[in-house]
Chain A
Amino acid sequence: MRALVCVSALGCLLFGAANLAAQGEQIFKGKICMGPEGRTPTTINGELSLPCTIPHPKRGSGYILFNPETKTTYQLDPRGKAKSFAGRRVVVLGILDQGTSTVHIDEILSALPAKIAEAKSVYIDCDNCVRGMAAAWKAAFEVLGDWGRYDVTPDPKKADLILLFSANPYVGDYVTRDGPDTRAVKVETTYMNVVDPQTGADLWGDSRRWSSFMVAKATRSLIEQLRTQLALEKQPDSQLLPEKQHEHRTWAPFGN
């Protein structure tokens, strides 16, 4: 009897693994909300939504991905990866287990604001780019030229977006400050922020802690990450990812 249970358990395990392996990695878009699965979405401002923030969630409740357009919900695994994105629109790359409607997360990214996708021109601003950081401007100019997606304008007032490179984290003061960043610069980390020139809001940002000798490479990597994410968001929901795109990803969305 014990042997039978073991064999059937192993069979289930193998079958499950084969089932997952047969499927490729897919893109899932939606909002991260607190489970359990099957919660009734409500209409807020004409948009179908789930109340995502719960002050005291019940023990055992997990995070789910809810797509208001397709009205579908998925369980997310592992739960920890979704926690920091609660209440936000995201793009999840993962493998769907159709039996349990669970997405096994490979990567999870905050969805880009529409302004980034709609923008046509950018201004490259290298803030307090002294010493090694000076390499950031030219590296950004080169990559953007190769990409060809945006017109790199020398006029920040005419730009739809500001690409801000700095060795210090952005504090949201692009519009309000009266000159360059005056903080001390220790070139260890290269920060890139996509800033709204009208409001100074940080639309997207990431960093690479790759030392002062790798500023150009870090800059290229950050722009490449933005480019990949823009390409991912153009894909329809549940789109199967080409294997190459996954293999050649050069950035690490979970810290670096």
Chain B
Amino acid sequence: MNVFRALVFAAATSTAAICASAAGGVLEKVAKIQVDPTVVEHPENVDDSTAANLARYDLRAAVRDAHLEEGQPADIRAHIVLEGFSSESRARRAIDAGSGRSVCTVDARLVFEDASGKELANIKIHVRGSVVPVQGDAAAPQGRESSSDLERRLLREIEALK
């Protein structure tokens, strides 16, 4: 039994070590990030013309919420690769009418590169929620009056890479 526990422990620690070396620490000593425009790989899977700009706005907001400076030039560059974006259906919109909330489905990858263009991290993102800042959201980062679900998800990923 003890041998089994030791094996499980060893497997768990080695997996954690591999994960940490793969992703963790990429943004460890980073103070400034340049947020590049969103890349839309398959425009046919994006049903909102402002989706790319909204995704970039949310990434900039997440960088700010992570207490990192956003601007250019910077040693680390970040961008979102938008693989799919769908706004809520008309039926859903009718149900939510007047609530002020709009739900979208976002499939994307958050990519970090160094100044030479070498990829440092590539994180899969799937969010079903708001992409536009919603005011009075209890989950908004401290000191903010509004935030979106996509922004909070991006913030989590950035914090994990610190």
Using a CB–CB cutoff of 8 Å, the interface residues on chain A facing chain B are: 126-135, 137-138, 141-142, 145, 152-155, 179-180, 212
Contacts and interface: CB of A to CB of B under 8 A. Distances in A.
Contacts of A179: 145
B50 A141 contact: yes
A76 B96 CA distance: 51
Given A131-B99, A133-B100, A180-B145, A138 B64 contact: no
Interface size class of B (residues with CB under 8 A): 20 to 34
A130 B100 contact: yes
A134 B130 CA distance: 12
A137 B132 contact: yes
A212 B99 CA distance: 12
A69 B50 CA distance: 43
A132 B132 CA distance: 14
Nearest to A124: B133
Contact of B136 (A138, A180, A212): A180
B152 interface: no
Contacts of B54: 138, 141
Contact of B50 (A131, A135, A145): A145
B89 interface: no
B38 to A, nearest CB: 12
A154 B60 contact: yes
Contacts of B135: 126-130, 134, 180
A126 B60 CA distance: 18
Nearest to B53: A145
Contacts of A153: 60
Given A137-B132, A152-B57, A154-B57, A129 B50 contact: no
A224 B61 CA distance: 26
Contacts of A130: 100, 135-136
Interface string B35-56: 0000000000000011001100
B70 to A, nearest CB: 8
